[in-house]
């Protein structure tokens, strides 16, 4: 039982459902002129599993590469606490990658819209972004933060690469980027962001969003109905970032704790963004499906936290050894 809990914690299984919702929203969102979803249950299952496994791959890879650092700074995590071995975590990480790529291929076969396996290619590109972020990107300041936004945007597109409506992908990119920047600052992560980083964090997203908007204009996808869809995420965004602004001025908790709280809330808010676009398109049943998935995610997250209480953490010798080496 302890090993199962450790594996679920390693892969952040509760938060992985946010990636499932992102894939589903582009599959469920039906715009005029687009064909209806063929074999919806099978497509939702294949797309959801692909997103679930790829998310788990990214989280487990992150902990594997940070295992040495976590012995000092996060000894309660599964690897430094010894609840799961490096060998087991490596096998699990590779298995999750293979399963994610496999189900993306299954999704492409079910859709059967082109000789090119687009979902498979998008999943492979997403996996490469995950590897880049965990291996190099997170040490490059603004580049890493931008990569996080791109990972979410690409993950969303895996659900329907033929969709002319790129609003969900744009919203997810912006939400993840903004939340990541705020959390990065509050948690005082390294390397510190410099002026050039802030310039890139303004300029590159503007270019990305302009390209996405240009593509939609070329496809004649920017219509009055598309503008109506934007009302949902704008409303959610105003409410969420008003709460974030209030959190940033609170001093009852240390900044690191506030940053962690904001990043978690930002992930759960993705369910609200996804559901709001479906609701604005009068797809209320689909919106309820996403909200239900969000409820499961929150409940699962709370359960995992409750079950993890009292579990052993890493031994003090890791910290003492690190300190002695530092001297």
The answer to whether 130 and 136 have CB atoms below 8 angstroms apart is: no
CA distance 105 to 180: 30
Q: Specify the pLDDT at position 272.
A: 97
Torsions phi, psi for 189 (to 5 deg): -75, 160
Q: Specify the pLDDT at position 150.
A: 96
* Mean pLDDT confidence for 300-320: 64
28-56 tens-digit pLDDT:
998 877 777 778 899 999 999 999 999 99
- Cα 322 to Cα 79, 81, 126, 165, 319: the distances in Å are 17, 16, 35, 51, 5
Which residue from 290, 301, 219 is spatially nearest to 261, judged by alpha carbons? Answer: 301
CA distance 15 to 319: 29
Is position 326 within any domain?
A: no
CA distance 289 to 62: 30
* Mean pLDDT confidence for 179-195: 92
Q: Specify the pLDDT at position 249.
A: 80
Q: Specify the pLDDT at position 199.
A: 96
CA dihedral sign of residues 50, 163, 235, 207: positive
CA distance 61 to 11: 9
CA distance 298 to 264: 10
In degrees, rounded to 5, the angle at the alpha carbon of residue 207 between the alpha carbons of residues 204 and 211 is 140
Which residue from 50, 16, 209, 64 is spatially nearest to 126, judged by alpha carbons? Answer: 50
> At a CB cut-off of 8 Å and minimum separation 6, what does 147 contact?
129, 132, 133, 137
Total number of domains constituting the chain: 1
Say yes or no to pLDDT of 93 above 50.
yes
Say yes or no to pLDDT of 16 above 90.
yes
Q: What percent of the chain shows pLDDT beyond 90?
A: 65
Is position 185 within any domain?
A: yes
Is position 72 within any domain?
A: yes
Q: Specify the pLDDT at position 310.
A: 60
> What pTM was estimated for this model as a whole?
0.90
What's 226-242 look like in SS3?
Answer: HHHHHHHHHHHHHHHHH
**Three-class DSSP category at 6:** helix
Torsions phi, psi for 287 (to 5 deg): -65, -40
Q: Which residue has better confidence, 135 or 316?
A: 135
Q: Specify the pLDDT at position 161.
A: 84
Say yes or no to pLDDT of 320 above 70.
no
Which residue from 55, 62, 67 is spatially nearest to 13, judged by alpha carbons? Answer: 55
Is position 152 within any domain?
A: yes
> What is the overall mean pLDDT for the chain?
88
Is position 184 within any domain?
A: yes
> At a CB cut-off of 8 Å and minimum separation 6, what does 277 contact?
25, 29, 167, 168, 171, 229, 232, 233
* Mean pLDDT confidence for 203-222: 92
Say yes or no to pLDDT of 325 above 50.
no
Q: Specify the pLDDT at position 164.
A: 82
258-295 tens-digit pLDDT:
899 999 999 999 999 999 999 999 999 999 999 999 99
Give the domain range for residue 164. Answer: 2-29+37-321
Residue 308 binned pLDDT confidence (cut-offs 50, 70, 90): confident
21-33 tens-digit pLDDT:
999 999 999 887 7
Is position 48 within any domain?
A: yes
Say yes or no to pLDDT of 120 above 50.
yes
Is position 327 within any domain?
A: no
In degrees, rounded to 5, the angle at the alpha carbon of residue 28 between the alpha carbons of residues 35 and 148 is 120
Q: Specify the pLDDT at position 211.
A: 95
Is position 199 within any domain?
A: yes
Question: What would the DSSP string read from start to end of 154-223?
Answer: HHHHTT-TT-S--HHHHHHHHHHHHHHHHHHHHTT-SSPP-HHHHHHHHHHHHHHHHHHHHHHHHTT---
């Amino acid at each position: 039982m302890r090993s199962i809990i450790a594996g679920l914690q390693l892969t952040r299984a509760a938060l992985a459902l946010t990636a499932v919702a992102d894939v589903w929203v582009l599959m469920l969102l039906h715009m005029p002129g687009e064909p209806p979803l063929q074999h919806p249950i099978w497509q939702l299952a294949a797309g959801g599993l692909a997103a679930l496994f790829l998310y788990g791959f990214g989280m487990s890879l992150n902990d594997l590469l940070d295992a040495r650092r976590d012995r000092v700074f996060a000894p309660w995590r599964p690897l430094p606490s010894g609840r799961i071995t490096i060998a087991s975590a490596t096998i699990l990480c590779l298995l999750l990658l293979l399963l994610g790529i496999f189900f993306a291929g299954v999704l492409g076969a079910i859709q059967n819209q082109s000789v090119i396996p687009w979902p498979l290619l998008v999943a492979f590109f997403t996996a490469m972004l995950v590897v880049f972020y965990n291996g190099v990107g997170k040490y490059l300041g603004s580049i890493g933060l931008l990569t996080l936004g791109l990972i979410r945007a690409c993950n969303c597109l895996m659900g329907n690469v033929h969709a002319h409506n790129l609003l969900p992908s744009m919203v997810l990119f912006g939400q993840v980027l903004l939340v990541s920047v705020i959390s990065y600052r509050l948690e005082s992560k390294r390397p510190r962001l410099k002026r050039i980083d802030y310039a890139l964090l303004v300029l590159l997203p503007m270019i990305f969003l302009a390209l996405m908007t240009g593509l939609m204009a070329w496809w004649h996808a920017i219509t009055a109905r598309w503008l109506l869809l934007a009302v949902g995420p704008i409303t959610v965004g105003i409410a969420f970032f008003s709460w974030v602004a209030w959190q940033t001025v609170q001093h009852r908790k240390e900044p690191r704790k506030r940053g962690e709280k904001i990043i978690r809330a930002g992930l759960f808010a993705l369910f609200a963004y996804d559901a709001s676009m479906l609701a604005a398109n009068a797809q209320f049943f689909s919106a309820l499906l996403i909200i239900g998935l969000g409820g499961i995610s929150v409940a699962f997250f709370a359960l995992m936290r409750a079950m993890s209480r009292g579990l052993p953490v890493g031994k003090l010798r890791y910290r003492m050894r690190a300190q002695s080496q530092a001297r």
